[in-house]
Structure 1
Amino acid sequence: MADQHRYVLTATWTGNRGTGTSGYRDYDRAVSVEVAGKPLLLGSADKPFRGDPERWNPEDLLLAALSQCHLLSYLHACVVRGVVVTDYIDEASATMVTKGNGGAFSEAVLRPRVRVAETAMVEPATAAHDDAHEWCFIANSVNFAVRIEPVVEAG
């Protein structure tokens, strides 16, 4: 039997400049996202879509969710394999292709650089990325390729 987990948030458009959506250039793309007990997240559209480049956009958030999900799944996989991770940083990227008023992501690439405690842990730490990719809820939920290009070092 599968467990179900429910997530609830409130997204509020805060960009009415007084005339609502009377025209494409007449409203701001400002959004606030709230989850009970968590800091307020300020969002917008990406700059090419008339958004505020200082705010998170949905595309940033999707890539952040993929990267963070892999990271957390990876740390668990390393514990299971007896690997001690001492440092992890991911330089992730994603590509989105637009057509007319729509579009889609074509791929995301996660590039985790991992440091482990001992040289003998490098091989199982590298293999743990396969487990993490299999276990990542977000990667399992998207309809585009998510590639993992890890580098694992000891030290």
Structure 2
Amino acid sequence: MNGEHHYHLRSTWTGDRGSGTSGYRDYDRAVTLEVDGKPAIAASADKPFRGDPAKWNPEELLLAALSECHLLSYLHACVTTGVVVTAYEDDASGTMQEDGNSGGAFTEVVLRPRVRVADESMVEAARAAHKQAREWCFIANSVNFPVRHEPEITVG
């Protein structure tokens, strides 16, 4: 499955309160994210940046992309090594540092997957599959900060 893949998204600012961006506090940070054929996502800036905390923000979406990409890559790695995964849940966290010049960057993301496998004999291979998943994850390979993994493997 080699090749170039293209993705398209429409971001629409919906936060004009009647005077556009006439002042920093005069507009809402509301955005609608849309991909054809899928439900729209109501998004905003994070609360410290005058956003709506009830809506998804770019930082959460980046964290979600990393977590989901690892999950999907991990499941594939497990299939190729004969590991039967019966449950997977991740409590991911990320750290972003402001630079003092109105910018900043993520400095680290930690994924904490809790994986349940079908048999005790699969535990070590299940643990090793996280390394393969990291190598396969398109999103993790696209960021310039560390994405660490702290997996927990159980049998059940």
Letter matched to residue 131 of structure 2: D
Is 1:70 matched up with 2:70?
yes
Deviation at 1:148, TM superposition (A): 0.6
Task: Report the equivalent of 1:94.
Answer: 94
Count residues with an aligned counterpart.
155
Task: Report the equivalent of 2:32.
Answer: 32
Deviations 1:12-37 (A, max 9, x none): 00000000000000000000011000
Deviation at 1:97, TM superposition (A): 0.2
Task: Report the equivalent of 1:109.
Answer: 110
Letter matched to residue 65 of structure 1: A
Deviations 1:20-78 (A, max 9, x none): 00000000000001100000011000000000000000000000000000000000000
SS in 2 for 1:3: coil
Deviation at 1:2, TM superposition (A): 4.5
Q: CA RMSD in A?
A: 0.9
Residues in 2 aligned to 1:110 and 1:118: alpha-carbon distance in whole angstroms: 23
TM-score, structure 1 as length reference: 0.98
- Any runs of at least 4 consecutive aligned residues in structure 1 with deviations exceeding 3 A, and if so which? none
Is 1:42 matched up with 2:42?
yes
Residues in 1 aligned to 2:46 and 2:130: alpha-carbon distance in whole angstroms: 30
Residues in 1 aligned to 2:84 and 2:124: alpha-carbon distance in whole angstroms: 12
Give the gaps of 5 or more residues in structure 2: none
Task: Report the equivalent of 2:20.
Answer: 20
Task: Report the equivalent of 1:145.
Answer: 146
Task: Report the equivalent of 2:134.
Answer: 133
Q: Percent identity?
A: 70
Task: Report the equivalent of 1:79.
Answer: 79
Deviation at 1:153, TM superposition (A): 1.0
